[in-house]
Amino acid sequence: MPGLLYNSDAGTEMNQDVRLLFHELADLSPGEREQIFRDRQIGSDLRAEVESLLGFDSGNQEHLTARVSGAAEQLLQSADVRELGYCGQYRLVRLLGTGGMGSVYLAERTDGEIQQQVAVKLLGIHRPAWRDRFLKERQLLASLHHPSIVHVIDAGHTADGRPYLAMEYVDGQPIDVYAATIDLRDRLRLFLRVCEGVSHAHHHLIIHRDLKPSNILVDASGQPKLLDFGIAKLIDQTADSTQTVERMLTPNFASPEQVRGDAQTTATDVYSLGAVLFKLLTGQSPHETKAGSQPDVPADLDYISRKALRDEPEERYASVEALGADIRAFLESRPVAARSGNAWYRTRKFVRRYWVPVAAAALVIASLSTGLYIANRERALAERRFQQLRQLSSRVFDLDIAIRNLPGSAPARERLVSASLEYLEGLASEARGDLDLTREIGEGYLRVGAIQGMPNELNLGKPAKAEASLKKADELMDTVLASRPHDKTALLGSASIASDLMILAQQEHRDADALARAHKAAGRLGLFLIQGTIVDSERDVAAATYGNIALAHVNMHLYAEAVAYARQALELARQMSSRQYRVGEFLSILANAQRYQGDLESALQNIQEARRIADQGVFPNDSVRMLDEYGILLREGYILGEDGDVNLDQPMQAIEPLQKALDMAEQAARKDPTDSTSRGRVANSGNTLANILRHWDAPRALAVYDLALLRLREIRNSLPARRQQALVLANSANALRSLRRSPEARQRIDAAFEILKSTKDYPAERVKLDSVAYTALCARADQDAAEGNLLRATETYEQLLDKVILAEPDAFSDLRDAPRLSSHYGALAALYRRAGDIAKATDMESRRLDLWRHWDSKLPNNSFVRRQIEAARRP
């Protein structure tokens, strides 16, 4: 069949049928193959071609599924040993295996330096179309360093110009063969090591896409090694390299989206790992077993593999780490997340581990059930309903506070929310003018909304549902205040509701809505404070609300108002001797507002006092500690050295608090795979820290960026998380260029723009200086400049400046905008100078200097402004 691969017309169609059928049958038993031949009535010619290829395949120890295209190719690959003899300094010894892109040979190093055996992968001699894919595999493998991944030793080209890759030679067995000789628990521990290797690849934004037993060898020491990244891809690359004429996959281990040719993510590798796990547990692939059943497999493991093997990617484990966490839970006799649908199972496990809070829950539920029975019998008695709702508010929601920090508590909190909403909706329909009951129902919706999706608490990551609950609460409180405008409890509750709605609006960049909610909250608080004596619990709520309003005004660049609200919060907090940790929280908000006013000395003094209070550790619980201390540490890092913003020019000192904030958030994220708040905080602190590190320690910066991206991808259905993902991708390009990985930098920038298109942030006629679109466009221009395309980089910066001007920046009144506009002028000036256009460069430098001279007149002798003037004077 020498010319078969290049025949046209009917011959080409015949060859395509051969390939597709071979791919399907390669890993099946002879009996199963025969059944397919018979059921589909495969013609004799097609059957003969496929059986010929299967005959070559069966001669190897490993299955060579979707990578063999014909007997001619195998003969050519075997001949390489005779014809080439050497790949660089490596002498080819014998053929180990063949694949779609070429062959793998055992080879020996011959330069005399050391004795070493390696595995040399060589591109097929008649596969020029796959050259780019082969070169990409070399680069991907070179970026990975993990004990469970085969490592790269060398690379080069043969005398006839074909690229080769010298890798660690693994003298081992496929993992399913090795696993058959060890007990179940050792098999699971072995599988966990594989998961760690895949997770390492995912942390580097690489998905393998061809995980199967024959690509996971176990050496004599019991160490698994991932092989063959030939069809791996960067998670964020825009081109889908799966869309080829020959789909390169292994049917028994490929995910449904691979089979369909759909987009592939880390969930693709989760599915394949689930199929490998199934094979280790049962000795068969999932598709070889009737209905995916697993006889004689522990129920927990059955649930785990079924979750990993779900058809819908979003229904699988959110990450390989989550899959590994469930395996560890099984090994440690803890409940597995995959069984979350089994309420009784989780209840039994939860009771055994946390019997004290669960006992309290049982008492609450028992008393609530009794009360509901009475309320249903005597609906006409408003006092009964009032007492029942009081129980719900004071006991059931307090139970949420008790369990929210416990690992695996999210399903219990979900059920708590569901039951509470059902109860609240039933009572709301029967309030009938009972203003006390209406007010209590409003407070109930307020607390449900906080659990559902408020970012200032450990929440369930459902902001849209939280906003719906809060709007119901707002309507109910307005109803009460329309009749009783001086009701203290209703005024404070209404202020809290408006504040939470303000936070959610700001998260989605609805600043007009956020400002209206802030004014309503402040107005309600003002009325509340003149109603008479207040107790500490009320004072605490009022102070926290003022703090949130202050923070919102900082985010909206309204710094004078932010300072005023922060001082009101501080005044209330200082009156509460038992809640001094609140003082530190509000001092940090005040400090951040002061730095944007240019008062960096006061900002430093206040943030240092806040840090001292936090370090004293007087917090009511670990949840409050994490939420409050994180904010203090983050703002300390901002003030000391946030990259490209108003700061004290102490970036090295900023690293310590930012790293501590990151570690704190990451620890919380690892404890609870459903907590979106901690994941957002990992991304925020990680991006800020990495932006500083990239100037001195690019490898560490890239690792931090990658952690931020990993956590952001674990947040489901969140527009703010998607935007933040684009921001981190764009920023990380700088670190990649420093590491001479320019193609990867370009891929990340392109991926950032794909996200911004999906969020409707790009393209845009107007671009704000503090927007993600601005950061991404600057990153694109800087990438063009680094690649030598000065014209395109200059055009991008020029067009971006026009869009910025249309957005009406306030750089001459808002100190926060000034550094960004100044940096833009500086970047354009540098590009003009490189292009030899001195006149334009001088114009940009003059604009930059004029900007800071203006600020020097507004803030005379300001250390930050003086540094900018000095920088602007240097061409």
Task: State mean pLDDT over 311-326.
Answer: 88
Q: 239-295: per-residue pLDDT in tens?
A: 443 333 334 566 778 888 887 777 788 889 999 999 999 999 998 888 766 544 465
Least confident stretch, 311-320, 351-360, 530-539:
351-360
pLDDT surpasses 90 at 630:
yes
CA distances from 770 to 235, 598, 774, 819 (A): 27, 18, 7, 11
How far is 76 from 102, CA to CA, in rounded Å? 10
DSSP-assigned states of every residue in 71-132? HHHHHHHHHHHHHT-EETTEEEEEEEEEETTEEEEEEEE-SSS---EEEEEEE-TT-GGGHH
In our burial notation (b when 16+ CB lie closer than 10 A, e otherwise), range 138-165 reads: bbbbebbebebbbebbbbeebeeebbbb
Greater confidence (477 vs 230) lies with 477
Per the CB < 8 A criterion, the answer to whether 303 and 336 are in contact is yes
Residue 342's pLDDT band (cuts 50, 70, 90): very low
CB atoms within 10 A of CB 329: 20
Task: State mean pLDDT over 10-34.
Answer: 61
Task: State mean pLDDT over 320-347.
Answer: 76
DSSP-assigned states of every residue in 252-296? TT--HHHHHT----HHHHHHHHHHHHHHHHHSS-GGGSGGG--TT
- pLDDT at position 144 is 83
- pLDDT at position 62 is 37
- pLDDT at position 355 is 54
Angle at Cα 509 formed by Cα 507 and Cα 511, nearest 5°? 110
Greater confidence (463 vs 356) lies with 463
- pLDDT at position 661 is 97
Q: 815-830: per-residue pLDDT in tens?
A: 999 999 999 999 999 9
What average pLDDT does the chain have?
83
Burial classification of residue 304, based on how many CB atoms lie within 10 Å of its CB (0-12 exposed, 13-18 middle, 19 or more buried): buried
CA 680 to chain centre: 8
What percent of the chain clears pLDDT 70, i.e. is strictly above it? 79
- pLDDT at position 159 is 81
Least confident stretch, 64-68, 694-698, 766-770:
64-68
Greater confidence (383 vs 792) lies with 792
CA 31 to chain centre: 45
How far is 604 from 414, CA to CA, in rounded Å? 41
Task: State mean pLDDT over 841-860.
Answer: 97
- pLDDT at position 394 is 52
Helix (H, G, I), strand (E, B) or coil at 224: strand
Least confident stretch, 23-27, 260-264, 359-363:
359-363
How far is 804 from 235, CA to CA, in rounded Å? 31
Task: State mean pLDDT over 605-613.
Answer: 95
The residue behind tokens 């300001």 is 862
pLDDT surpasses 70 at 318:
yes
- pLDDT at position 685 is 98
Residue 625's pLDDT band (cuts 50, 70, 90): confident
| Dihedral sign from CA coordinates of 678, 684, 687, 693 | negative
CA distances from 704 to 636, 728, 733, 750 (A): 19, 10, 13, 20
How far is 725 from 730, CA to CA, in rounded Å? 9
User: CA torsion 722→724→725→727, rounded to 10°?
Assistant: 130
pLDDT surpasses 50 at 409:
yes
217: which strand partners?
Answer: 174, 225
Question: Dmax of the chain from CA atoms?
Answer: 97
pLDDT surpasses 50 at 14:
no
Nearest Cα neighbor of 736 from 723, 750, 724, 722 is 750
CA-based Rg of the chain, rounded to a whole angstrom?
Answer: 32
Q: 699-717: per-residue pLDDT in tens?
A: 999 999 999 999 999 998 8
Whole-prediction pTM value? 0.57
Class of domain 176-339: mainly alpha
CA distances from 215 to 25, 99, 193, 206, 315 (A): 18, 11, 14, 16, 26
How far is 416 from 676, CA to CA, in rounded Å? 18
Task: State mean pLDDT over 108-121.
Answer: 85
pLDDT surpasses 90 at 851:
yes
Per the CB < 8 A criterion, the answer to whether 55 and 130 are in contact is no
Please tell me the CATH superfamily of domain 62-169, with its number: Phosphorylase Kinase; domain 1 (3.30.200.20)
Residues in the chain: 875
Q: 130-151: per-residue pLDDT in tens?
A: 677 777 767 777 778 888 998 8
DSSP 157: E
Sequence-ordered list of residues with C-beta below 8 angstroms from that of 422, at least 6 positions apart, any chain: none
Nearest Cα neighbor of 99 from 132, 121, 131, 129 is 121
In one-letter notation, the amino acid at residue 196 is: E
Greater confidence (690 vs 422) lies with 690
Of the segments 52-61, 331-340, 643-652, which one has the largest average pLDDT value? 643-652
How far is 326 from 328, CA to CA, in rounded Å? 5
pLDDT surpasses 70 at 791:
yes
How far is 702 from 700, CA to CA, in rounded Å? 5
- pLDDT at position 76 is 43
- pLDDT at position 740 is 95
Greater confidence (577 vs 731) lies with 731
Greater confidence (281 vs 433) lies with 281
Q: Where are the domains of the chain?
A: 1-59, 62-169, 176-339, 351-484, 700-873
Least confident stretch, 571-580, 617-626, 702-711, 850-859:
617-626
pLDDT surpasses 80 at 512:
yes
For domain 700-873, the question of CATH label 3.40.50.2000 is answered with no
Least confident stretch, 8-17, 24-33, 598-607:
8-17
Q: Where are the alpha helices (DSSP H) in 393-453?
A: 397-403, 410-428, 435-453
Greater confidence (592 vs 138) lies with 592
- Cis, bond preceding 313 (omega within 30 deg of 0): no
How far is 642 from 623, CA to CA, in rounded Å? 26
Greater confidence (444 vs 431) lies with 444
Task: State mean pLDDT over 433-458.
Answer: 85
Residue 382's pLDDT band (cuts 50, 70, 90): low
Greater confidence (656 vs 622) lies with 656
- pLDDT at position 112 is 77
How far is 272 from 213, CA to CA, in rounded Å? 10
What percent of the chain clears pLDDT 90, i.e. is strictly above it? 51
- pLDDT at position 125 is 54
Least confident stretch, 620-629, 643-652, 683-692, 710-719:
620-629
Task: State mean pLDDT over 368-388.
Answer: 52
Greater confidence (204 vs 172) lies with 172
Least confident stretch, 60-74, 124-138, 307-321, 636-650:
60-74
Task: Give CB contacts under 8 A, 24+ apart, made by 540-545.
Answer: 540/572, 540/576, 540/579, 540/582, 541/492, 541/496, 542/492, 542/495, 542/572, 543/569, 543/570, 543/572, 543/573, 543/576, 543/582, 543/586, 544/569, 544/582, 545/495, 545/496, 545/499, 545/521
Greater confidence (181 vs 398) lies with 181
Angle at Cα 669 formed by Cα 665 and Cα 670, nearest 5°? 120
Per the CB < 8 A criterion, the answer to whether 683 and 712 are in contact is yes
pLDDT surpasses 60 at 811:
yes
CA 869 to chain centre: 39
Nearest Cα neighbor of 828 from 777, 766, 864 is 777
- pLDDT at position 243 is 35
Per the CB < 8 A criterion, the answer to whether 704 and 693 are in contact is yes
Least confident stretch, 70-79, 128-137, 467-476:
70-79
Q: Give the containing element (helix H, strand E) for 785.
A: helix 772-786
- pLDDT at position 485 is 94
- pLDDT at position 815 is 96
